[in-house]
């Protein structure tokens, strides 16, 4: 679905047209945001919760959206923050806060009833889950979503150089994990 972002933003700020514009916004971004969140939180039900929270936040704060960044960047930023907050909260509750290896997410992956990949893909996902959260995020956005570094830089508010380095380290760690396991 092609949308004119400026027009959509104007409609979202107009109380009389907000509901319709919001519906279009949800339909346009729900899938992309879902997959972005799913790669962070792994479980489908958790992803559903986080995605609803993201759109709820958007609904409540869209009036104050200042268009300093694009709508796409703003939405991805909210989704990223919500997803990371969610897993940090879960880790805190499961006493896994200091566990960089994300044992909690590994067990979630193994129990995921909607995982449709083969054994090699499962191994890759396990390798990805051994990465620190930020590195994992960078790897997923680059490797699977094929996002450009400058877009990632805006969303994650990190320099392009730091992102390239992060991706490079992530690839090396994943390759080592796959070879060793």
* Residue placing its CB nearer to another protein in the complex, 37 or 152: 37
* Residue placing its CB nearer to another protein in the complex, 39 or 96: 39
Query: How does DSSP classify residue 157?
Result: T
Whole-angstrom Cα distance, residue 153 to residue 20?
A: 31
Query: For residue 51, what are the CA distances in angstroms to 127, 156, 164?
Result: 25, 18, 28
What is the nearest approach in angstroms of another protein to the Cβ of residue 55? 5
Whole-angstrom Cα distance, residue 125 to residue 136?
A: 10
What is the nearest approach in angstroms of another protein to the Cβ of residue 123? 8
What is the nearest approach in angstroms of another protein to the Cβ of residue 166? 16
Can you read off the two tokens belonging to residue 115? 């995982």
What is the nearest approach in angstroms of another protein to the Cβ of residue 52? 6
* Residue placing its CB nearer to another protein in the complex, 31 or 100: 31
Whole-angstrom Cα distance, residue 8 to residue 25?
A: 8
* Residue placing its CB nearer to another protein in the complex, 47 or 80: 47
Phi, psi of 121 (to 5 degrees): -70, -35
- CA 105, distance to chain mean position in Å, is 15
Binding site for another protein (CB under 8 A): 23, 26-27, 30-31, 34-35, 38-39, 44, 48, 51-52, 55-56, 59, 112, 114-118, 120-125, 143-144, 171, 174-175, 178-179
What is the nearest approach in angstroms of another protein to the Cβ of residue 115? 6
Element housing 137 (H / E)? helix 133-139
* Residue placing its CB nearer to another protein in the complex, 4 or 118: 118
């Amino acid at each position: 679905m092609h949308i004119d972002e400026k027009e959509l933003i104007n409609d979202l700020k107009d109380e009389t047209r907000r509901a319709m514009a919001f519906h279009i916004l949800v339909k346009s971004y729900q899938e992309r945001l879902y997959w972005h969140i799913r790669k962070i939180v792994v479980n489908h039900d958790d992803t559903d919760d986080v995605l609803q929270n993201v759109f709820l936040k958007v609904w409540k704060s869209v009036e104050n959206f200042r268009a300093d960044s694009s709508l796409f960047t703003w939405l991805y930023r909210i989704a990223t923050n919500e997803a990371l907050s969610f897993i940090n909260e879960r880790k805190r509750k499961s006493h896994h806060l200091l566990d960089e290896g994300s044992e909690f997410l590994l067990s979630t992956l193994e129990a995921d009833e909607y995982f449709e990949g083969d054994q090699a893909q499962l191994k890759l996902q396990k390798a990805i889950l051994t990465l620190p959260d930020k590195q994992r995020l960078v790897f997923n956005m680059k490797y699977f979503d094929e996002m450009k570094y400058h877009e990632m830089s805006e969303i994650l508010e990190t320099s392009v150089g730091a992102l390239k380095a992060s991706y490079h380290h992530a690839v090396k760690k994943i390759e080592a994990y796959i070879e060793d396991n």
